[in-house]
């Protein structure tokens, strides 16, 4: 993917930032990031504002099923959860991510975290060097961190912006569907609407790159753009033998 990036970017924009792998690899000086998961954006804000406080709270959590399910259940009492500090919410999210099955962020229809305990021997719950490094970057760069619908941040982007889109992927089969990253999911109509937003970016002369599954549906949606098929590792499968290389697309409106 990296060789396909544009050579010069004034403003980096990532509307589905998730774990921010590309953001933190590139570390652009100016960026706009968004995610529909407000808890995730809160985590990034806490890492920026008080990483040492976050590390202190993380150190109180134990890698055991009892603690995991107690912490996971915090959001079942909505009134009590609303009273937690931003640091406590951020620590909970990071702890669950490190100790749940396959690091899978998944919510039920009520928007409550419901991935099971991973039962890993020694997960790196308190990764102080990485968190401090992320904090240093977030404080040194000019970054707008917002949460909500991705379309809102695509309007008004300045000339020279680059948009990287990494949405929930189109399922490769009827049994492989996973769209419960957010309460509402992300279906075929959402994929079509996203492609229309890409068309708008193209008309405005704003470069974009999009990652998705190499399904016939996605290939048809982006047939007018430059499409590169790449191999990627798929780690989320209950059957270990079915985890491995799959085909994904990298879509660009530039060469």
Share of the chain above pLDDT 70, in %: 91
- CA–CA gap between residue 193 and residue 162 (Å, rounded): 19
Average pLDDT (147-158) is: 92
Q: How confident is the model at residue 88 (pLDDT cuts 50, 70, 90)?
A: very high
Please, what is the average pLDDT of the chain?
Answer: 92
- CA–CA gap between residue 68 and residue 95 (Å, rounded): 8
Average pLDDT (77-97) is: 97
Q: How confident is the model at residue 171 (pLDDT cuts 50, 70, 90)?
A: very high
Per-residue burial over 26-58, b if 16 or more Cβ lie within 10 Å, else e, is bebebbbbbbbbebbbbbbebbbebbebbbebb
207 closest CA partner among 255, 142, 141, 248 = 255
Q: How confident is the model at residue 109 (pLDDT cuts 50, 70, 90)?
A: confident
Q: What is each CA distance from 99 to 38, 64, 85, 149, 213, in whole angstroms?
A: 20, 9, 21, 28, 27
- CA–CA gap between residue 12 and residue 24 (Å, rounded): 11
What pLDDT was estimated at residue 180? 52
- CA–CA gap between residue 66 and residue 120 (Å, rounded): 14
What pLDDT was estimated at residue 238? 47
CB burial of residue 17 (10 Å; 0-12, 13-18, 19+):
buried
Mean pLDDT lowest among 105-119, 134-148, 198-212: 105-119
Q: How confident is the model at residue 75 (pLDDT cuts 50, 70, 90)?
A: very high
- CA–CA gap between residue 98 and residue 253 (Å, rounded): 36
Residue 245 in this model has a pLDDT that exceeds 90 = no
Residue 106 in this model has a pLDDT that exceeds 90 = no
What pLDDT was estimated at residue 235? 58
Q: 14 phi and psi, to 5 degrees?
A: -130, 100
Residue 175 in this model has a pLDDT that exceeds 90 = no
Residue 241 in this model has a pLDDT that exceeds 50 = no
Average pLDDT (201-222) is: 97
Average pLDDT (3-24) is: 95
Collapsing DSSP to helix, strand or coil, 105 comes out as: coil
- CA–CA gap between residue 102 and residue 28 (Å, rounded): 29
Q: How confident is the model at residue 234 (pLDDT cuts 50, 70, 90)?
A: low
118 closest CA partner among 70, 64, 71 = 64
Share of the chain above pLDDT 90, in %: 82
Average pLDDT (224-233) is: 92
Average pLDDT (175-189) is: 66
What pLDDT was estimated at residue 156? 86
- CA–CA gap between residue 88 and residue 111 (Å, rounded): 18
The C-alpha angle 79, 83, 88, rounded to 5 degrees, equals 125
Residue 51 in this model has a pLDDT that exceeds 60 = yes
């Amino acid at each position: 993917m990296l060789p396909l990036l544009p050579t010069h970017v004034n403003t980096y924009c990532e509307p589905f930032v998730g774990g921010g792998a590309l953001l933190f690899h590139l570390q652009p000086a100016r960026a706009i990031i968004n995610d529909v998961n407000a808890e995730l954006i809160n985590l990034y804000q806490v890492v920026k504002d008080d990483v040492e406080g976050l590390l202190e709270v993380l150190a109180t959590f134990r890698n055991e099923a009892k603690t995991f399910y107690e912490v996971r259940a915090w959001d079942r009492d909505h009134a009590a959860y609303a009273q937690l500090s931003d640091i406590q919410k951020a620590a909970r999210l990071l702890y669950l991510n490190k100790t749940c099955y396959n690091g899978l962020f998944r919510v039920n229809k009520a928007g409550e975290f419901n991935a099971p305990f991973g039962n890993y021997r020694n997960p790196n719950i308190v990764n102080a060097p990485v968190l401090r490094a992320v904090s240093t970057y977030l404080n040194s760069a000019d970054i707008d961190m917002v949460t909500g619908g991705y379309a809102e941040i695509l309007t008004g982007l300045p000339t020279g912006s680059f948009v990287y889109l990494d949405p929930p992927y189109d399922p490769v089969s009827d049994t492989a569907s996973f769209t419960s990253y957010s309460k509402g999911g992300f279906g075929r109509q959402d994929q079509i609407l996203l492609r229309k937003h890409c068309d708008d970016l193209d008309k405005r002369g704003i470069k974009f790159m999009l990652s998705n599954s190499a399904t016939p549906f996605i290939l048809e949606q982006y047939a007018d753009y430059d499409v590169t098929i790449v191999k990627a590792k798929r780690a989320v499968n209950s059957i270990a033998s079915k985890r491995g290389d799959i085909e994904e697309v990298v879509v660009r409106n530039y060469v």
